[in-house]
Amino acid sequence: MSATKLPNVGPKSAAWLRQVGIHSEEGLREAGAVEAFMKVRRAGFKASLNLLYALEGALVGCHWQKLPPERRSELLLAVDAAEAINPTQRPRGGGLIEPTRPTADPDDPGPSLFDDERDERDHDDA
């Protein structure tokens, strides 16, 4: 696995991705930005659209704020479509469902491509 870190993916976002089973750049590429974002939201994490844009930026190699408005619109439409097919569940009180925390996996390879102590100013860790 490459030691290169993905742009836009800070420690909080990386932790969320690991929690939903995405442990590498390859895993993120396989899922795509929208699917990864929806997994994080469906797990109950309070991810804003900045995470969606950050993931897309990481995949295309640009800062999340430099994504063209047309691409942002496409991503929003894709999220709306994914939400229509499988809505994010929310408890009756309107709050998010508490995320489940998996137990330690003895087969976990440890730190992943996402582990990074980079400055969190890259994005607001949605």
pLDDT reading at 62 higher than 70: yes
pTM: 0.69
pLDDT value at 101 more than 60: no
103 or 10, greater pLDDT: 10
| pLDDT given at position 106 | 47
* pLDDT over threshold 90, residue 35: yes
Q: What is the reported pLDDT for 123?
A: 52
* pLDDT for the residue numbered 3: 34
Mean pLDDT, the chain, whole residue set: 78
Average pLDDT over residues 87-101: 53
Q: Mind spelling out the 3-state secondary structure of the chain?
A: CCCCCCCCCCHHHHHHHHHCCCCCHHHHHHHHHHHHHHHHHHCCCCCCHHHHHHHHHHHHCCCHHHCCHHHHHHHHHHHHHHHHHCCCCCCCCCCCCCCCCCCCCCCCCCCCCCCCCCCHHHCCCC
CATH, domain range 1-85: 1.10.150.20
Max mean pLDDT among 2-6, 76-80, 82-86, 116-120 falls in: 76-80
